[in-house]
Structure 1
Amino acid sequence: MAPVVYEGAAVVPAHQLVKPVSRDIFPDGLKTTGQHPPLYDQLKPFSEFPQEITGPTVWKAEEYKNNPEKWTHRLTDDEVAELSDAADAFLAGQIPLTGISKGNFPLPKLSAFLAELYKDLVDGKGFILFKGFPVKEWGNHKSAVAYMGLGTYLGYFVSQNSRGHVLGHVKDLGEDAAQIDKVRIYRTNARQYFHADDCDIVGLLCIAKALDGGESDIVSSHSVYNALAKERPDVLETLIQPIWYFDRKGETSVGEEEYIKTSVIYLENGGKGRVYTKWDPYYVRSLTRFSDAGIIPPLSAAQTEALEVLEATCNRLALHMVLDIGDIQFLSNSQVLHARTAYTDYPPPAPRRHLMRLWLATPEHEGGWKLPFWDSDEKKRGGIQVNDTPPVAPLDGE
């Protein structure tokens, strides 16, 4: 394989520099930093990556398949009551949902458990399934408040799209999944291949289930890494090289390019030297409008094979998980990839499959991974931010 030329240090454009924000626009005083290229001089060559990853981030599906007690937490009556009281007090205070924080959503008892969970999500196996969240009893509004309040103990919520949604909705809105250069797949009923979202931790709260399908698969990206290192080191090297273009599907601020050139797998910038995987095949395959025009190179044979081998390895090692109504799944994108099967909704008037989604950021100074991006220590690193679009928290898909 020909050597890759690693580019010089990326320059942070002036509009991306951290600066004070208006609380009239951003009620919690924080703005999502958004998508951007890595700092190329901080990307490491294949020769510097570990031959094998060890530790609690490396797990196999067999460890958990028949042992749900290892990865589920059923909310107790006392925990539900504490969440309910905090949500009622927040609603009574008439604070915008986009202004919710640990400071105005106190959980004096549950917070201790969430602090331990945070460590396991960031440094451990990277996933949990909560059960017993009373969405039917509370309805969408109170459920959203309690869910976002719970999420503030695990990270800072970031915008998930160009419209500023900090409370997202995974729901079939009738968009054409074939138009992958325009449509976000979470707004369709199509299959989602293994991927990581543009955030550190993703949360999914099940409001309504599908008639068929829509089930979840997760995999340790570190187990996948180890398998590739043994079986296909050539594929691993291809994924590590900064030769991949990721589509931004038009969700860009003024002056930004429509795509980002980066790696799929890279090392922390210092810290614990952990291996991070950032991947979504839909965002790679959707760039033919640029490659056909000769603006960027098309996928090489090695890249095409790499994405196919990566997906097959994920499927082989995956843990299957079903979300019932009132379940909340939290995953760390740093060391876990996730997927979803295609689904069919119940016919009307039954509700469509509906998951409320949170994207959460975990900055370096609060234990987050030291990533080779300029915003690695910003509280709301990552996500999608277009210009000064304000955050919004709609209670349903739109």
Structure 2
Amino acid sequence: MPIATPRPLTQGQSDVSLDLVQPYSNFPLKVTGPTVWKAEDFRSKPDLWKKQWSAEQIRDLEQAYDRFKESGKPITSITKETFPLSNEIAEFLADIRSQIVDGQGFILIEGLPVESWEVEKSAALYLAIGTHFGNTLSQNGKGHVLGHVKDLGNDPTQIDRVRIYSTAARQFFHTDAADIVGLLCLHKAKEGGESDVVSAHNLWNVLQAERPDIAEILTQPIWYFDRKGEVSQGQNGWVQKAVFYFHDGKVLSNYDPYFVRSIGRHVEAGLIPGLSEKQKEAIEVFEQTAQRLSLHMVLKVGDIQFVADTHVFHARTAYTDYATPAPRRHLLRLWLATPESQGGWKRPFPDSAHDKRGGIQVNDQAETCPLDAE
């Protein structure tokens, strides 16, 4: 059983601070800079977004794990201090982090030898790597700071109660409730389960040029996101937000169509308004445009993908697993907060200055690190 240790709680999702929401007229017509990229530029230059672990780095990681293992500490205790990595690795990760936080917003690091490691070793090293990007966040009502993207046989059509990562269904372009999301591939699917990423700022620019009416409605805080039952005492079953924000001189994004589409029971109860025809159109135009502009990639076993939820949308194709007894597709997931104190972007939410902003927190549920999906 996973061992929980007392740690600061994740802040959890909250409504946007309406007094900080800028009107569409204040948004830039066009975003410029390194956060704006086109898929065709990256397809021809994989060195811009693919990194590899060296043999020396792998050796250093394994030695760091051996020291941590000897300490007897549980993996829920992993921090930079309890699981120190070599200076060379720290510098390698710091360079990647800067590209995630203030650059193109995604990176693929290839080559962890997870096929020869037990799951606990892969999980511990992945958590240790993640601490160099931000603070771990609870990803669900069970307090999982180590998530497992794996098909548990759940029905993906039951979107008001099922999280799509626990199914084999397609995931449309979205962000998570974090600043950075990381995925480590332990096992691939037989078919599918491949990744797509798109620059939210390039997407914004294209919408501004082609469909400014859609861009405008996406900046309005009229979007209700379902909590899917992961609700603390005294909270509503939803949060109210926009999709795009202009805050502190930056365009930020936050969106997941599954959470937007699953609000029906709240609408039927007369608690919130349903989606307007214009909002439904915006959802379709958003997805079609993101698909058109996206970069496709395949995560091999041992690859880590890091994506900035502030300015990149990501998606996944549906997949089919190998027949039993072959292992099912299995990715370890991290949600990470990069707060203002660590150089993260300011956000128009009440928890912007907190070290563990975002995530999902139900009451006082402590952090847990299960080693398999549950």
TM beyond 0.5: yes
Q: Which residue of 1 is the match for residue 100 of structure 2?
A: 121
Deviations 1:280-301 (A, max 9, x none): 1100110111212322111111
Q: Which of 161, 176, 192 is the aligned partner of 2:171?
A: 192
Question: What TM-score do the two structures reach when normalised by structure 2?
Answer: 0.98
Is the 2:196–2:315 contact (alpha carbons within 8 Å) kept by the matching residues of 1?
yes
SS at match of 2:323: coil
2:312 pairs with 1:336: yes
Q: Which residue of 1 is the match for residue 301 of structure 2?
A: 325
What is the CA distance between 1:373 and its match in structure 2? 1.1
SS at match of 1:178: coil
Q: Which of 197, 206, 210 is the aligned partner of 1:227?
A: 206
Q: Which residue of 2 is the match for residue 379 of structure 1?
A: 355
What is the CA distance between 1:94 and its match in structure 2? 1.4
Is the 2:4–2:368 contact (alpha carbons within 8 Å) kept by the matching residues of 1?
no
Take 2:170 and 2:4, find their aligned partners in 1: how far apart are those partners? 35
Take 2:215 and 2:221, find their aligned partners in 1: how far apart are those partners? 12
Deviations 1:165-218 (A, max 9, x none): 000000000111000000000000000000000000001000000000000000
Take 1:313 and 1:83, find their aligned partners in 2: how far apart are those partners? 40
Q: Which residue of 2 is the match for residue 150 of structure 1?
A: 129
SS at match of 2:81: helix
Take 1:301 and 1:356, find their aligned partners in 2: how far apart are those partners? 37
Larger displacement relative to structure 2 (387-396 or 29-38)? 29-38
Aligned pairs for 1:260-299 (under 5 A) are: 260-268=239-247, 270=248, 273-299=249-275
Aligned pairs for 1:1-398 (under 5 A) are: 26-27=5-6, 29-107=7-85, 108-268=87-247, 270=248, 273-398=249-374
**Corresponding letter in the other structure for 1:318:** S
Deviations 1:242-280 (A, max 9, x none): 111000001111000000111111122x2xx11111011
Is the 1:267–1:371 contact (alpha carbons within 8 Å) kept by the matching residues of 2?
no
**Corresponding letter in the other structure for 2:73:** I
SS at match of 2:282: helix
**Corresponding letter in the other structure for 2:80:** K
What is the CA distance between 1:155 and its match in structure 2? 0.4
Structure 2 alignment gaps of length 5 or more: none
RMSD: 1.1
Question: What TM-score do the two structures reach when normalised by structure 1?
Answer: 0.92
Take 1:26 and 1:302, find their aligned partners in 2: how far apart are those partners? 47
**Corresponding letter in the other structure for 2:367:** P
**Corresponding letter in the other structure for 2:346:** K
Larger relative CO (CA 8 A, sep 6+): 1 or 2?
2
What is the CA distance between 1:350 and its match in structure 2? 0.2
Take 2:230 and 2:176, find their aligned partners in 1: how far apart are those partners? 15
What is the CA distance between 1:25 and its match in structure 2? 6.0
Is the 2:154–2:166 contact (alpha carbons within 8 Å) kept by the matching residues of 1?
yes
Take 1:383 and 1:58, find their aligned partners in 2: how far apart are those partners? 26
Larger displacement relative to structure 2 (284-293 or 339-348)? 284-293
Percent identical residues = 54
What is the CA distance between 1:32 and its match in structure 2? 0.5
SS at match of 2:133: coil
Is the 1:210–1:343 contact (alpha carbons within 8 Å) kept by the matching residues of 2?
yes
Is the 2:36–2:199 contact (alpha carbons within 8 Å) kept by the matching residues of 1?
yes
Take 1:251 and 1:312, find their aligned partners in 2: how far apart are those partners? 30
What is the CA distance between 1:26 and its match in structure 2? 4.5
What is the CA distance between 1:160 and its match in structure 2? 0.2
Deviations 1:96-145 (A, max 9, x none): 21110011221221101211211111000011101110101112110111
Count residues with an aligned counterpart.
371
Take 1:349 and 1:66, find their aligned partners in 2: how far apart are those partners? 39
Structure 1 alignment gaps of length 5 or more: 1-23
Take 1:190 and 1:284, find their aligned partners in 2: how far apart are those partners? 17
SS at match of 1:391: coil
Take 2:73 and 2:250, find their aligned partners in 1: how far apart are those partners? 39
